[in-house]
Amino acid sequence: MRNNILHLATLTLLGFPLIGWIILLVAGGPDFYSLFAITSPLWQQLGIGLLTGTAAGFMAWRMIQSAWMTPLREKYAGFIGKFRLKPWQVVYISLCAGIGEEILFRGVIQPYLGIWITAVLFVAIHGYLNPMDKRVFVYGLYMTLVIGLIGYQTEWFGLYTAMAAHTAIDVVLLGKMSKIQTETQHSGFTLNDEDEPSDTDENPQL
């Protein structure tokens, strides 16, 4: 099971940029490799991105820790706990998502659809704008604002800012969720066999 999620992460890293390259090719957009041009100092992009992502990740975690969010927290803690991820795997998965998804969404799609439409599309694809689940929806609204901010930072500083921010968010949230499984078990929350992760579950990370 753990290998499956690592394979999926690798597919994200390789497949999403490929989709972006195809979009640019079909749309007659700029050269794919121009997306990686360093428009402002790399240390500045990475620093701003890491600070933004870390802050946004911990704010999201504070939200998830609220009593009202307990059902959502337990659901994802149980889902992610099944994988028993090691710290390096958390970092690897986060890097794959941060790099692969940002190349496609902030690098390729955003220039065509704009910051906010891209942000809404991105969060919706992850399953967080579900009006049938008010907790998920509220969390999704918060993440839409965060992704919108990252979209502006991409325009102001460069694509590496978005990659760093996204990676940091995922490291914080995936890392926290990976550790919370023991706590949820102590509180009486356990998973049954039918609770195995499936393809229909929302993406446990952003």
pLDDT of residue 192: 42
User: How is residue 35 written in tokens?
Assistant: 């997306």
pLDDT of residue 79: 87
pLDDT of residue 202: 52
- Which SS3 state, helix, strand or coil, does residue 106 take? helix
pLDDT of residue 197: 46
pTM of the model: 0.87
Q: Look at phi and psi of residue 205 and say left if phi exceeds 0, alpha if psi is from -120 to 50, else beta.
A: beta
pLDDT of residue 158: 98
d(CA 61, CA 151): 21
Nearest to 146 by CA among 88, 85, 63: 63
pLDDT of residue 3: 82
pLDDT of residue 204: 54
pLDDT of residue 203: 58
Burial 67-76 (b: 16+ CB within 10 A, else e): eebeebbbbb
C-alpha 4: how far from its chain's center? 18
d(CA 171, CA 92): 9
Residues of the chain with pLDDT under 70: 1, 181-205
d(CA 163, CA 136): 24
pLDDT of residue 190: 44
